[in-house]
Chain A
């Protein structure tokens, strides 16, 4: 059964870049879509973006311009970079595999346990 694990710094300074990696184990990253989702404290879940194993990606318009998701199939990993962070980017960040085919894709299974990233000086 595929498992996902987020890793990266738990503290990032304002204006810097938040970088997280999701490692996929017990399964291949190839031929699937992979996503990042976050939840700020006391707020709802927000989809950040997705990447296909070939490298094509799409992002939430609310974050477009600050976010880049990349994939490294040789390491079975995909990564999130979010630039110019502020305290509003403090959140629990999850990685997840996106399921479904074509126009029916868009639900998530499985998810990682999440990693808390705090933006503070």
Chain B
């Protein structure tokens, strides 16, 4: 089973600043990584799949990059609605596995 790790666990950012979230896989997952946003009491929301393809309706300030074992989600110019927990997930190997999440909170 592939282990996904995320760093940092918590990221404190001021509105308008950018945030860079990291995700690492225990072995290569090629580009088969997705990113999700989750807010309390809400359904998780798909942001990125294929490591860099934005899902339908996702603002351009969200961008994903990486391949192999290192991946990054960048949120440029954070808006108030962006403060949430973000998860990465690999789907190159079964079972698919998720990272533990990065909480982005207001500085």
Q: Which residues of A contact B (CB under 8 A)?
A: 4, 44-47, 58, 60-62, 94, 96, 99-100, 104-114
Contact = CB atoms under 8 A, between A and B. Distances in A.
B54 to A, nearest CB: 12
Given A112-B43, A113-B41, A113-B42, 18 more contacts: A4-B43, A44-B101, A45-B87, A47-B95, A47-B97, A58-B94, A96-B44, A100-B49, A104-B32, A106-B94, A106-B96, A107-B46, A107-B89, A108-B46, A109-B49, A109-B55, A110-B46, A111-B45
Give the most central of A58, A96, A106: most B CB within 10 Å.
A106
Given A44-B100, A44-B101, A108-B34, A100 B44 contact: no
Give the most central of B43, B87, B91, B94: most A CB within 10 Å.
B43
Interface residues on B, range: 20 to 34
Contacts of A46: 98
B49 A107 contact: yes
Contacts of B89: 45, 107-108
A113 B97 contact: no
Contacts of B66: none
Interface in B54-69: 55
Give the most central of A45, A94, A100, A113: most B CB within 10 Å.
A45
B43 A47 contact: no
B91 A111 contact: no
Contacts of B15: none
Nearest to B48: A107
Give the most central of B42, B45, B87, B96: most A CB within 10 Å.
B96
Interface string B20-59: 0000000000001010100001111110011000010000
Contacts of B42: 113
Contacts of A96: 44
A47 B8 CA distance: 23
